[in-house]
Amino acid sequence: MAESANSGSTQQSSGAQTQSGKTSAAEGNPSPARLEQAKEITRRNVLWALGAGVVPFPVADVLAIMAVQVKLLREFSALYEVSFTEGVAKKLAATLLSSVGIVGIGGAIGGSLAKLIPGIGTALGLVSVPLFAGMATHATGKVFTMHFESGGTLLDFDPNAMRNYFKQEFDKARSVVTQIQHDHKVGGKPA
């Protein structure tokens, strides 16, 4: 809130202005432009995750997906002007991914390892792993958009408190990720 030093009265502003002129998320006033940027960052990183999921080498694909998750959090930290620590980002991303449960994680790991089997295993892995990666990235984007818009940082993020919301967004993400894939294939926005 801004105080008027000249008149001695208190005036409310529509949000604190940072040095870059952006409205601070900590004030709880979401900026439509910032929300649109967050949505675009999420969409772009879903595309990266889809690409990481088709890496033909088991385990390397999982590492590539985690790198995309960290990249997403780095870009969000820059957008919301909060400090970024790679080690913290890795831990938060891994903890959130555990929210989808043993079946979800097991399916992704199984799909990754299936790439070792020529033919059907490779095909199964090239379909299931990218979809899982895209869904997880979309859900992570939704969770952190909400968290940062409410004034949070990476250091005060509580993954245990966000597990249910992450799981809900992960479950809803299949149709969104499928639409992003379709839009990209038919000449939609480039990554």
Going residue by residue through the chain (191 aa), what tens digit of pLDDT does each one get?
Answer: 333 333 333 333 333 333 333 444 545 567 899 999 999 999 999 999 999 988 887 788 888 999 999 999 999 999 999 999 999 999 999 888 877 654 455 555 555 655 656 666 556 656 678 888 999 999 999 999 999 999 999 999 999 899 999 999 999 998 888 888 778 765 555 44
Range of the domain at 147: 56-184
Question: Taking the model in full, what pTM does it have?
Answer: 0.74
74 in a domain, yes or no? yes
What was the pLDDT predicted at 13?
32
What was the pLDDT predicted at 90?
93
Tokens of 115: 């790439």
CA pair distance 149, 111, nearest whole angstrom: 35
Any residues with CB less than 8 A from the CB of 11 and at least 6 apart, and which?
Answer: 1, 2, 3, 4
- Distance in Å from the first CA to the final CA of the chain: 38
Distances (CA, A) of 58 to 63, 104, 116: 9, 17, 7
162 in a domain, yes or no? yes
Number of domains in the chain: 1
44 in a domain, yes or no? no
CA pair distance 122, 115, nearest whole angstrom: 4
150 in a domain, yes or no? yes
What was the pLDDT predicted at 127?
65
11 contacts 3 by C-beta, under 8 angstroms: yes
Segment (H or E) for 157: none
What was the pLDDT predicted at 183?
81
86 in a domain, yes or no? yes
97 in a domain, yes or no? yes
What was the pLDDT predicted at 59?
80
171 in a domain, yes or no? yes
